[in-house]
Amino acid sequence: MVLAIAFLNLSLVCPGTASANKKRIKVFVSILPQAYFVERVGGERVDVSVLVGPGHSPATYEPKPRQIAELGKATVYFRVGVPFEDVWMMRISRANPHMKVIDTRHDIELRTMNAYHPDRTTPHHPYRKGMKDPHVWLSLRLVKIQAENICRALISEDPAQRAYYQDNLRAFHYDLDKLDAEIKETLENLRIRKFMAFHPAWGYFARDYGLEQIPIEVEGKQPSARALVHLIKRAKQEGVKVVFVQAQFSTRHAEAVAHAIGGRIARVDPLAKDYLKNMSKIAGTFRKVIQ
């Protein structure tokens, strides 16, 4: 009797233990922000692995043999449209034919990566002319749609926990809406609304908050000398004084442009895992350096 009471008391103070001990859904994602999205919706019911780790570029990444082996154990792969997926998804699917591949861009209208390009000799590259912009995770509004797609997929795999996933989705949506409103307020009174970025990752972010991105990298290629001259001229005309760069790409040309326009570079990371904190930090950086 004493043992029974003790066991009952233990279950009351540790309500999540039984759920935590259930087998979790093994999930793979392409980039770190996606891991955050899946964990927010899936909670303790998911075990998430990421292919492209810190410091690597999702444009050119090649999965390691150990990652391919781990993929064989996965139930679901959530793709997001980054260029390495175009090369590797078929091989990833072959590594585990029973794994479901879910495109989190479902129901998202993608923008085209258009950019000024003074010469037309650019060869093929993962980011080529006219391709759809894959950086959908940098719009909080589009992340809401991605989270809905994640929720539907997890419910399909684990229908008994439908209410749990839906509650998590609502909480995540609330946080996204709250931060979206804060960023809108942070950026709404900027005097200069155009900015330069070495890698054109910020198109959706710019669209959400009434900004305009001027990319230095065009079709995934370092700019030619002629292109640099035109970019510098345009930056001076537009009053642009900052060039955004990220750790996954070389900053040499960005630094040259910043020097030529009498401006500076600003570092932002579009691939950090702590998504809400990172997006708030990015908005603060934009506010600080381009006003």
Range in 43-57, 71-85, 106-120 the model is least confident about: 106-120
For residues 241-259, give the mean pLDDT: 83
The answer to whether residue 96 sits within a structural domain is yes
Condensed to tens digits (0 to 9), the pLDDT of residues 123-159 reads 334 445 567 999 999 999 999 999 999 999 999 999 9
- Indicate whether 48 and 177 sit together in one domain: yes
Q: Pick the closest to residue 151 from 167, 171, 136, 166 (CA basis).
A: 166
The answer to whether residue 150 sits within a structural domain is yes
pLDDT at residue 218 greater than cutoff 60 = yes
pLDDT at residue 68 greater than cutoff 70 = yes
pLDDT at residue 42 greater than cutoff 50 = yes
Query: Could you list the residue range(s) of the whole structural domain that residue 89 is in?
Result: 24-105+135-181
Q: What is the pLDDT of residue 118?
A: 39
pLDDT at residue 4 greater than cutoff 60 = no
- Indicate whether 30 and 157 sit together in one domain: yes
Q: What is the pLDDT of residue 114?
A: 58
pLDDT at residue 77 greater than cutoff 90 = yes
Percent of the chain with pLDDT over 90: 64
Q: What is the CATH number of the domain that holds 37?
A: 3.40.50.1980
Q: What is the pLDDT of residue 115?
A: 47
pLDDT at residue 205 greater than cutoff 80 = yes
Burial class of residue 56 in the structure, from the number of CB atoms within 10 Å of its CB (0-12 exposed, 13-18 middle, 19+ buried): middle
- Indicate whether 197 and 139 sit together in one domain: no
46-52 sheet: strands from edge to edge? 46-52, 25-31, 76-79, 100-103
Q: What is the pLDDT of residue 55?
A: 85
- Indicate whether 212 and 139 sit together in one domain: no
Of 181, 201, 218, the residue at which a domain comes to its end is 181
Of 154, 181, 208, the residue at which a domain comes to its end is 181
Of 149, 181, 213, the residue at which a domain comes to its end is 181
For residues 160-187, give the mean pLDDT: 98
Q: What is the pLDDT of residue 124?
A: 35
Range in 69-78, 97-106, 220-229 the model is least confident about: 220-229
**In the chain, helix, strand, coil percent, each to 5?**
50, 15, 35
- Cβ atoms of 120 and 141 within 8 Å: the answer is no
- Indicate whether 172 and 208 sit together in one domain: no
